[in-house]
Chain A
Amino acid sequence: MELRFHSPYRGWLAGLLTEIAVFAVVIIVAVALALAAARIF
């Protein structure tokens, strides 16, 4: 069996953009939930 090691340096830009997109989604969902809760209650 051949063990292959993938360097995290090669895909850093795509990884960085993925992370920022995920953070943006988390923030948008949190804002939506907080505003909806504030409106309903």
Chain B
Amino acid sequence: MWVGFERRDLGAIAHYTGMLVASMALLMVIPLLTALASGEWGPALDYACGIGIAAAFGMLLAQSAPRGTHLTRRNALIVTALAWLAASLVAAVPLSLSGHYGGFVDAFFDAISGLTTSGLTLVQDLDHLALAHNMWRHLLHLIGGQGIVVAALSVSLGLRGGGAVSLYMAEGRDERILPNVMHTARFIWFVTAIYVTLGTVVLSVSNLIQGMEAGRSVLHAFWATVACYDTGGFGPQSQNAMYYHSPIFEGVTVILMLAGTLNFNLHADIWRGDRKEIFKNLEARALATNIAILSVVIGIGLAATRLFSTPGEVVRKGLYHLISANSGTGHQTLYNAGWANGYGGLAFAAIVLAMAFGGMASSTAGGIKALRLGLIAKGVVLRVRESIAPASAVVRSRYHHLLDVPLSADVLANALMLFVLYVVTYISGGMIGAAYGYPIGEALFESISATANVGLSTGITSPAMPLGLKVVYMLQMWAGRLEFIALFVLVASAIAAVRAKRGRA
């Protein structure tokens, strides 16, 4: 049923969106302090402006309804969809003031890419970007990877009461790890803190061994850890992961990418002592099978090339990108032009499939998700078993994902619906890219990279690309991160509101 908005609905939506936007002002204090500590006075001013605008905009919206206002499921989905856009809008303010972007749209593109943990970028002269701006770009990965709502919940930022649970579920986190949603949010941050600390320490040592100056070693290590664990893909250098030329760096970041793509419910089960869960879990099995099959494909594909056929190249240019693509990270050890020149069709296809499939649900990864692929495979097997069984036989299927669950028609239909939505979006974006004159293979690669929030690029994503394509990729990153439903609810609700208004007129 199409239900319009009442005044109190709009008030509640504005209130919660405002609270989430205001949380961005708090977060901007970190790059501000970075700027002050490193004597970057210009960027410090950029963040002072950003804090002022985010706080004023957020608090203005938050005044629309009293604290603790009840939030319905529909309104929570709308808040989530709007909050990701509004947060990106205010996050873009200091970036656009940096002088490293062609305009506000380009800065907005990077803010959306950062928050959705995509990693596609339109920044110019990245190698000379201020430390504060690099800190901000990577913090966007951190906050976006954990989820804006989770971040706000974990510090109890005005979200206690009626809205907390609805918002948490609306952000695509369908299971509660701990009985209380606030405690669940804090556990997610606890896992992140452990991995980020460990990754930063190990990569700092690796950078020091490579001859990097101490302070820079730690900053680069922190940024790389956040970018990989949150499956983002930004880097402080234009050459991305290739800048480090280090097998240790690549090995550690691959482990961080896999940790980032692990379902938070699986983290919780393993940390509670149920270590067998990772071997029984349908989603973990589906992801492992996916990586195994694509490893063989990429091995065959690269063996046929002249540039990347040595064992070292197969591992460092092949498998590194495979895990980077499958986890939705987007760190690359290859020049953008390398995908089209020398990588080979089969290996290129393996990377495209890895990006499209994505990592696990309830993690920081994007894409179709291994759980859905596993469910669809189970559904196919079930249909085959039904077809060969006697007509009177009742054939059922079960799967293990945290619990033993019967495979129901509803679960299968939901997995298939999301699968179709992702594939349609991948193909549509590719066709739009081709319509702008880019080769279809590269256009499809870039479209999948944006929708699955990966960040690998063939070079189409650049400040010089057409404005229309920038907007398409921004929409794809936003829709892919929210898994479409929140976006559809927003559009459907807007239509319903217009219809209701016309009905009254």
What residues make up the interface of A, taking CB atoms closer than 8 Å to B?
5-9, 11-12, 14-16, 18-20, 22-24, 26-27, 29-31, 33-39, 41
Chain A residue nearest to B350 (CB atoms) is A34
Determine whether B262 belongs to the interface, using a CB cutoff of 8 Å to chain A.
yes
Q: Which residues on the B side are within 8 Å of A39 (C-beta)?
A: 303
What residues make up the interface of B, taking CB atoms closer than 8 Å to A?
177-179, 187, 190, 194, 198, 251, 254-255, 258-259, 262, 267-273, 275, 278, 288, 291-292, 295-300, 302-304, 309, 311, 314-315, 318-319, 322-323
> Judging by beta carbons under 8 Å apart, are A5 and B179 in contact?
yes
Q: Which residues on the B side are within 8 Å of A36 (C-beta)?
A: 296, 299
> Judging by beta carbons under 8 Å apart, are B254 and A27 in contact?
yes
> Judging by beta carbons under 8 Å apart, are B311 and A38 in contact?
yes
Q: A19-B259, A23-B259 are in contact. Are A35 and B299 (CB under 8 A)?
A: yes
The residue in A7, A31, A38 that gathers the most chain B C-beta atoms within 10 A of its C-beta is: A38
A-B contact pairs, 30 of them (CB 8 A): A8-B187, A8-B269, A8-B271, A9-B190, A9-B271, A11-B273, A14-B275, A15-B267, A15-B271, A15-B273, A19-B259, A19-B262, A20-B255, A23-B258, A23-B259, A26-B258, A26-B291, A27-B323, A30-B291, A31-B319, A33-B299, A34-B298, A34-B315, A35-B311, A35-B315, A37-B300, A37-B303, A38-B300, A38-B309, A39-B303
> Judging by beta carbons under 8 Å apart, are A41 and B298 in contact?
no
Give Cα A33–Cα B290 distance, bound, in whole angstroms: 12
Q: A6-B273, A35-B314, A41-B304 are in contact. Are A24 and B255 (CB under 8 A)?
A: yes
State the Cβ distance, B305 to closest chain A Cβ, in Å: 10
Give Cα A36–Cα B175 distance, bound, in whole angstroms: 39
> Judging by beta carbons under 8 Å apart, are B315 and A7 in contact?
no
Give Cα A8–Cα B267 distance, bound, in whole angstroms: 9
Give Cα A26–Cα B299 distance, bound, in whole angstroms: 16
Q: A8-B187, A16-B271, A38-B311 are in contact. Are A26 and B288 (CB under 8 A)?
A: yes
Q: Which residues on the A side are within 8 Å of B319 (C-beta)?
A: 27, 30-31, 34
Q: Which residues on the A side are within 8 Å of B318 (C-beta)?
A: 34
Q: A20-B255, A29-B292, A33-B296 are in contact. Are A12 and B303 (CB under 8 A)?
A: no
Find A33's partner among B178, B190, B292 (CB 8 Å cutoff): B292
Q: Is the interface of A mostly helix, strand, loop or mixed?
A: helix
Give Cα A16–Cα B295 distance, bound, in whole angstroms: 25
Give Cα A19–Cα B291 distance, bound, in whole angstroms: 17
> Judging by beta carbons under 8 Å apart, are B271 and A34 in contact?
no
Q: A5-B179, A19-B267, A41-B304 are in contact. Are A14 and B314 (CB under 8 A)?
A: no
Q: Which residues on the B side are within 8 Å of A29 (C-beta)?
A: 292, 295
Give Cα A3–Cα B179 distance, bound, in whole angstroms: 12
State the Cβ distance, B389 to closest chain A Cβ, in Å: 35
The residue in A20, A26, A39 that gathers the most chain B C-beta atoms within 10 A of its C-beta is: A26
Q: A11-B272, A22-B278, A38-B314 are in contact. Are A30 and B295 (CB under 8 A)?
A: yes
Q: Which residues on the A side are within 8 Å of B255 (C-beta)?
A: 20, 23-24, 27
Chain B residue nearest to A7 (CB atoms) is B272
Find B302's partner among A20, A30, A38 (CB 8 Å cutoff): A38
Enumerate the 7 nearest inter-chain pairs by beta-carbon distance, A residue then B residue, closest first: A37-B299, A15-B271, A34-B299, A38-B303, A38-B299, A8-B271, A30-B295
State the Cβ distance, B176 to closest chain A Cβ, in Å: 12
Give Cα A18–Cα B273 distance, bound, in whole angstroms: 10
> Judging by beta carbons under 8 Å apart, are A37 and B296 in contact?
yes
Q: Which residues on the B side are within 8 Å of A23 (C-beta)?
A: 254-255, 258-259
Q: Which residues on the A side are within 8 Å of B299 (C-beta)?
A: 33-38, 41
Give Cα A31–Cα B290 distance, bound, in whole angstroms: 14
> Judging by beta carbons under 8 Å apart, are B314 and A34 in contact?
yes
Chain A residue nearest to B273 (CB atoms) is A11
Q: A8-B271, A38-B300 are in contact. Are A33 and B295 (CB under 8 A)?
A: yes
Find B272's partner among A15, A22, A34 (CB 8 Å cutoff): A15
Chain B residue nearest to A20 (CB atoms) is B255
Q: Which residues on the A side are within 8 Å of B296 (C-beta)?
A: 33-34, 36-37
Give Cα A19–Cα B274 distance, bound, in whole angstroms: 12
State the Cβ distance, B197 to closest chain A Cβ, in Å: 11
Further contacts, 15 of them, CB under 8 A, given A36-B296, A38-B299, A38-B302:
A7-B272, A8-B178, A8-B272, A9-B190, A12-B194, A14-B273, A15-B270, A15-B273, A16-B194, A18-B270, A26-B288, A27-B319, A27-B323, A34-B295, A38-B309
State the Cβ distance, A15 to closest chain B Cβ, in Å: 3
State the Cβ distance, A20 to closest chain B Cβ, in Å: 6
